Structure 1
Amino acid sequence: MSSDRSPRSYIVQSVDKAARLLHALAAEDVEHLGVTELAGRLGFSKNQVFRLLKTLERRGLVEQDPQTERYHLGTTVLFLAGHVQRGMGLVRAAAPILDRLALETGETIHLVARRGLEGVMVDFRESPQPVRLTARLGGHYPLHAGACPVAILAALPPDWQQKVIDDLPMLPRYTERTVADPVRLREAIEQVQALGYSLSDEDVDADGRAVGAAILDRAGWPVGAVSVAGPSSRLTQERLHQYGQKVHAAAAEIGARLSLVVGRIEQEATL
């Protein structure tokens, strides 16, 4: 039996608005927002925002600072995120390798999963050093800049790469070194394919460098990437290439472990 209803007709507007509010509170440029600020960002009435906040607060998804009366994401979000992580084969497979890389390098380690033509930060190990690169769990990144995203891009088929190249004029320029020229991006892809790892030289963080390698599944598709990231003062070009060998080996090991984890999950599902 066919249905003439469009996908939009199944959307529950109040739930959609609540989800937009949560995304607003998760924006990189804010820590806390008040009712008036949220209403302005979302285009909702203050009454709508207040009612949504009180509903979400009841479930622990948002919390109110008693002193400022402004709102931020609640601890229930962490609980839910933990379930997402535990259910991801990639995070499970990578965990011991991330721990080892963090100990060996003393730098921040990123694990990024591919979602279409974006990378999503799904796990990390932050450097214990006072000057370090940080990570934002759940952050979304286009594939034209950064060690992990470009490593993923270089492992995709040419027609997928072309989609990113075509979109390049619309993609963000994080620093003066962010690639904005299609020819340079193609050269970067070729360099990654030749080296086996991607070099990020202040193209995302003005004072940061990183080196990353793509993680491939059993079919050879990039499911994500792993990287070592740190301040430019410590990650010299020589050290980047040294770590490049480590992340290349780590990515291969994660890919092998991922095949085992996925295979085990598939086996458990049939029991």
Structure 2
Amino acid sequence: MQETVKNKTVMRSMLLLDLFEQHAELTFQEVITLSEMPKSSVYRMLQSLEELGFLEKGEDLKYRLGTIFLKYGHLVASRLDIRHISYPIMEKLHEETKEVINLTVRSGDEAIYIEKIDRYQTIRLYTEIGKKSPLYAGACPRALLAFLPVNEQTTYLERTPLVQIASGTLTTIAALKQIMAKEREQGFTVSHSELEDNTAAVAAPIYNYQGEVIAGISAAGIAANYDAAYITNLSEKTIEAAAKISAKLGYRP
């Protein structure tokens, strides 16, 4: 019985922490309202989370995520082998193209950005490390979807609503299937204003030693620059970078 109570407390504490994924800071009352938990329970859990360093309370009495997450975030990032393997190759692609270079991996039905290099870009794009995107939207996320076996694509599309994110987001299954078939044939994905208006990207899939798509690498920038000739040039460089990373992961075509 005591073990069950402890498990419930841990689960509810995690639900409180999840609130801070969407909110940078929250007051005690806001946590109660959003969590829909009893005031006394919220008070005890917030107090424990603060003592453990998972939350910090400022002088304004608002709660924020604690700096302990920086420690754990660094540990997780440092143990992602693909990130370490990819980074030098991403840097080379960045120097050659002067575009924003992104690296994504799959997290369920979403793509998560785990690395980004953007020293030469003066504007901020949609992509940020830790940010998630549906697999169907944007060149880098779709590199994880378009090169899956067709039956896996179909299963994904059957359970996933295609929501409009920006002016160029593909929102019909027919259009998405058509573009993915073309992308599989050409070996890279392209997006125009799918995650953020006036931006574009070219991406290629990264394979592991078993021939499975496990990541995507993209070059992204201002949509006005992405004419046919530029996309052709950029796609060649991006495919080459993806192939080098795949080779380091043991992939043999």
Using structure 1 for the length normalisation, give the TM-score. Answer: 0.83
Shift of 1:236: 4.4
Alignment partners' CA distance in 2, 1:79 and 1:194: 42
Shift of 1:13: 1.4
User: Which deviations, in whole Å up to 9, do the C-alpha atoms of 1:82-112 show, x marking residues without a partner?
Assistant: 1111212211211111222222222322111
The letter of the residue matching 2:74 is G
Q: Which residue of 2 aligns with 1:231?
A: 222
Identity percentage of aligned residues: 27
Contact map agreement 1:118 1:140 (CA 8 A) in 2: yes
SS of structure 1 residue aligned to 2:115: strand
Contact map agreement 1:60 1:74 (CA 8 A) in 2: yes
Give the 5 Å matches for 1:207-226. 207-226=198-217
Q: Which of the numbers 82, 86, 106 marks the counterpart of 2:78?
A: 86
Q: Which residue of 1 aligns with 2:158?
A: 166
SS of structure 2 residue aligned to 1:114: strand
Alignment partners' CA distance in 2, 1:11 and 1:88: 31
Q: Which residue of 1 aligns with 2:18?
A: 23
With over 3 angstroms needed to count, the CA separation of the structure-2 counterparts of 1:247 and 1:10, relative to structure 1, is farther
Contact map agreement 2:191 2:200 (CA 8 A) in 1: yes
Shift of 1:211: 1.2
Alignment partners' CA distance in 2, 1:141 and 1:164: 14
Q: Give the count of matched residue pairs.
A: 248
Using structure 2 for the length normalisation, give the TM-score. Answer: 0.88
Q: Which of the numbers 119, 123, 132 marks the counterpart of 1:131?
A: 123
With over 3 angstroms needed to count, the CA separation of the structure-2 counterparts of 1:52 and 1:253, relative to structure 1, is same
Alignment partners' CA distance in 2, 1:108 and 1:69: 38
User: Which deviations, in whole Å up to 9, do the C-alpha atoms of 1:91-148 show, x marking residues without a partner?
Assistant: 1211111222222222322111123433222222234432131533333322111111
Alignment partners' CA distance in 2, 1:11 and 1:102: 49
Gaps (5+ residues) in structure 1? 1-8, 261-271
Gaps (5+ residues) in structure 2? none
SS of structure 1 residue aligned to 2:136: coil
Alignment partners' CA distance in 1, 2:10 and 2:93: 41
Q: Which residue of 2 aligns with 1:62?
A: 55
Q: Is 1:122–2:107 an aligned residue pair?
A: no
User: Which deviations, in whole Å up to 9, do the C-alpha atoms of 1:132-188 show, x marking residues without a partner?
Assistant: 3153333332211111121111111111000122134x2432023211111111111
User: Which deviations, in whole Å up to 9, do the C-alpha atoms of 1:206-237 show, x marking residues without a partner?
Assistant: 22211111101112110010111223244445
SS of structure 2 residue aligned to 1:72: strand
Q: Is 1:46–2:21 an aligned residue pair?
A: no
Alignment partners' CA distance in 2, 1:83 and 1:252: 27
With over 3 angstroms needed to count, the CA separation of the structure-2 counterparts of 1:129 and 1:138, relative to structure 1, is closer
With over 3 angstroms needed to count, the CA separation of the structure-2 counterparts of 1:179 and 1:49, relative to structure 1, is same
Alignment partners' CA distance in 1, 2:66 and 2:49: 9
SS of structure 2 residue aligned to 1:230: strand
The letter of the residue matching 1:39 is I
Q: Which residue of 2 aligns with 1:6?
A: none
Contact map agreement 2:162 2:170 (CA 8 A) in 1: no
Q: Which residue of 1 aligns with 2:101?
A: 109
Alignment partners' CA distance in 2, 1:33 and 1:164: 35
SS of structure 2 residue aligned to 1:93: helix
With over 3 angstroms needed to count, the CA separation of the structure-2 counterparts of 1:63 and 1:87, relative to structure 1, is same
